[in-house]
Chain A
Amino acid sequence: MSDRDPVVLIVEDEPDVAETYRLWLQDGYEVRVAQNGDEGLDKLDDEVDVVLLDRMMPGLSGDRVLELIREEELGCRVAMVTAVEPDFGILEMGFDAYLSKPIGSDQLKETVENLLDRSEYDDLLQEYYSLVEKQATLEATKSRVELADSEEYERLTSEIGALRDDLSDTLDGIEDDEDFIATVRRLGDVEEY
């Protein structure tokens, strides 16, 4: 994780509501606010970690903004903010979480935190895979004796152990079904791109 605060982009057409979210999040996050879908896309770049996206907005709808975000393959997580609880189509729609209005401060912070954890989990899993791959390559090319003498191999092995621990500490070891499905879906998404 870098030193900078995570960046949250709020896309919300009601200024009072957007301001409330901004105040709740301003400690600990860099917050950007956009009043509609077009402005949201303008303020969206690689640095944005989480988008809070209002579904019902005049002009470009939240659903359309989400589609464009996914088409652009931006790495951000999207929490859809809805007036009504969506049906099970949630998984197919490609957002990472939904929040039903009205939203409380704790709920908002927890959701943002959970989405950041999921991103961290993905990053750790990617790192874990690359180390395991390196280890397997070494094992395929060196003898047992060479491996026993190899500092690189020893370092890799201990890093892999540490990453496994980090992974099981993140997201409480995928205890939650939504975390499980979201993480698995993300793997599939990468495949489709």
Chain B
Amino acid sequence: MSKNTERMYDFADVLDVEVLSSVAPGSTVLVSGPAMTGKEALMFDILADGVREDEGAVVVTTGDRAGSVIDAIESRAPGMAGHQLGIVDCRGGSDGDRDDYGGAYVHHAGSPSDLTGIGIGITNSFERIQDAGFEEGRLALSSLSTMLTYTDEQTVFKFCHVLSERLDAAGFLGCFAIDSSAHDDRTLQIITQVFDGLIEIRETDGTREARVKGLRPDPSGWIEL
């Protein structure tokens, strides 16, 4: 629980579960589901929801380039200010597709295992957002599965814990995506332990559903997306 602010995060507009209308600052949520079930889109929705409410947003991306992440957020939150947004692009090298980020802060880390580079990018993003006067912010990391292919489970576990503590100190909200079909139950269980809450996504007969566990004792029911 953060000591910084009492204001709760509300993203029940994105996922209509009561518990999500009042999430404590510093909380972290794991978004878990099989490949191609829209985990990243859901996290972008959660971030854009905050941007529209005058919050900052930070994306740590191992897949999409910084430019396309900015486009994804901006298309969901038209009129956002560039300085609301910080991107840590972990794909290594420079962003070939563009160099104008519309005022957003972009940090390039060497690879998904360059934890120091990722840490510096996150720290700088927080600083820029807070210096611009935004007290609240949401961070999304996509995805832990890619990080797990570059480093071992133990390192990813520890990294997530330390980052959760940093989020707590900042009073920000964190969401982290994992591809549940890419790891065994034991690994998923270990990684899940780091987070305060879990949003599970499943797809049955073409219908995508999500349910929320943690944050409060009982799991929610399944909600159609």
Chain A residues at the B interface, C-beta cutoff of 8 Å = 91, 125-126, 128-129, 132-133, 135-137, 139-140, 160, 167-168, 172-175, 177, 180-181, 183-185, 187-188, 190-191
Q: Quick check: is B98 within 8 A (CB to CB) of the other chain?
A: no
Which among B51-59, B74-82, B161-169, B206-214 touches the partner chain? B161-169
Chain B residues at the A interface, C-beta cutoff of 8 Å = 113-116, 118-120, 123, 127, 151-152, 154-155, 157-159, 161-163, 165-166, 168-169, 185-186, 189-190, 193
Interface on chain B toward A: helix, strand, loop, or mixed SS? helix
- Cα distance, A174 to B161, chains bound together (Å): 10
B185 surroundings in chain A (CB, below 8 A): 140
A184 surroundings in chain B (CB, below 8 A): 115-116, 118-119, 159, 162-163
A125 surroundings in chain B (CB, below 8 A): 158, 161-162
Instruction: Please tell me which one of the listed residues B118, B120, B151, B193 contacts residue A91 in the complex, with CB atoms under 8 A apart.
Output: B120
A174 touches B114 (CB 8 A): no
Instruction: Please tell me which one of the listed residues A135, A174, A188, A191 contacts residue B169 in the complex, with CB atoms under 8 A apart.
Output: A174
A191 touches B165 (CB 8 A): no
A175 surroundings in chain B (CB, below 8 A): 169
B189 surroundings in chain A (CB, below 8 A): 136, 139-140
B116 touches A180 (CB 8 A): no
B151 touches A173 (CB 8 A): no
22 A–B contact pairs at CB < 8 A?
A91-B120, A125-B161, A125-B162, A129-B158, A136-B186, A137-B186, A139-B186, A140-B189, A167-B165, A174-B169, A177-B123, A180-B119, A180-B166, A181-B123, A184-B115, A184-B163, A185-B116, A187-B115, A187-B155, A190-B155, A191-B151, A191-B152
A173 touches B169 (CB 8 A): yes
- Cα distance, A135 to B123, chains bound together (Å): 32
- Cα distance, A50 to B54, chains bound together (Å): 44
- Cα distance, A177 to B157, chains bound together (Å): 20
